[in-house]
């Protein structure tokens, strides 16, 4: 049984190392992947044994690939960052991911279907992506509130009980009761300021 568990943990570790190595090599060679655009021809048509690509918008396959790889590489690095990030705010990476995805889709669409493009759809991308941005920011705000509550042990249902207000400068009614009880149990602390009470607690 222990041999089976050791074998499973070894396989899990080797898979983890393999995936980490692939991610590391991808990040390290990302500049070389970007400069692959230089192998494409400078003309407007690229013919190969599988398909024929015609660049209608850029009128150069080389320029089109330079544009595509300029969007693909940041998108790839952001996706790696998103899937390997362990911080609570990692959902915010979805915003630049959506931006680069939209730009890449727009660039390919404009280059392939130039005659069907009536307007420049890349010019108003912030308007199209605004609902998505707002949704991600709302999710981030909710996550931050939950983490803040967990870290500081704040229960929002206690606010009515404690009469806490952002405008109140003094103690809440519950804290005043605790302070009074503490002073009754320690007569020497009657004249002590409330800061000393909290220090002794």
Condensed to tens digits (0 to 9), the pLDDT of residues 15-32 reads: 888 888 999 999 999 999
User: Buried (b) or exposed (e) across 67-87, using 16+ Cβ within 10 A?
Assistant: bbbbbbbbbbebebeeeeeee
Phi, psi of 151 (to 5 degrees): -70, -45
Residue 186 pLDDT level (bands cut at 50, 70, 90): confident
Cα–Cα distance between 57 and 35 in angstroms, integer? 21
Answer yes or no: are the C-beta atoms of 101 and 75 closer than 8 Å: yes
| Mean pLDDT on 52-62 | 88
Residues 6+ apart with CB under 8 A from 190: 183
Average pLDDT (102-118) is: 79
> If residue 102 lies in a helix (H) or strand (E), which one and from where to where?
helix 94-112
- What's this model's pTM, rounded to 2 decimal places? 0.61
Which range among 45-49, 64-68, 134-138, 188-192 shows the weakest confidence by mean pLDDT? 188-192
Q: List the domain boundaries for the chain.
A: 2-129, 158-200
Whether pLDDT at 200 is above 90: no
Question: Is residue 123 predicted with pLDDT exceeding 90?
Answer: no
Percent of the chain with pLDDT over 70: 69
Q: Are the C-beta atoms of residues 44 and 50 closer than 8 Å to each other?
A: no
How is residue 102 written in tokens? 């939209």
Q: Is 21 helix (H, G, I), strand (E, B) or coil?
A: helix
Higher pLDDT, 148 or 192: 148
Residue 87: predicted pLDDT: 85
pLDDT in tens, 80-100: 999 998 888 888 898 899 889
Instruction: Determine the average pLDDT of the residues in 105-134.
Output: 73
Tell me how far apart the alpha carbons of residues 143 and 129 are, in angstroms, rounded to a whole number. Answer: 21
């Amino acid at each position: 049984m222990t041999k089976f568990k050791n074998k499973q943990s070894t396989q899990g570790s080797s898979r983890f190392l393999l995936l980490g190595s692939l991610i590391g090599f991808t990040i390290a060679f990302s500049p070389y992947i970007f400069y692959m655009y230089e192998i494409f021809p400078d003309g407007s048509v690229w013919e190969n044994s599988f398909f024929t690509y015609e660049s209608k918008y850029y009128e150069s396959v080389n320029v089109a690939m330079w544009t595509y790889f300029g969007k693909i590489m940041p998108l790839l690095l952001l996706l790696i960052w998103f899937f390997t990030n362990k911080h609570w705010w990692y959902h915010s990476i979805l915003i630049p991911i959506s931006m680069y995805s939209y730009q890449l889709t727009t660039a390919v669409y404009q280059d392939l279907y130039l005659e069907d493009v009536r307007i420049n759809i890349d010019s108003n991308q912030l308007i199209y992506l605004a609902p998505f941005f707002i949704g991600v920011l709302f999710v981030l705000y909710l996550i931050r509130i939950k983490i803040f509550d967990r870290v500081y042990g704040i229960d929002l249902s206690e606010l009515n009980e404690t009469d806490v207000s952002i405008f109140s400068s003094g103690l809440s009614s519950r804290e005043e009761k605790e302070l009074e009880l503490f002073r009754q149990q320690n007569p020497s602390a009657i004249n002590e300021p409330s800061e000393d009470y909290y220090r002794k607690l």
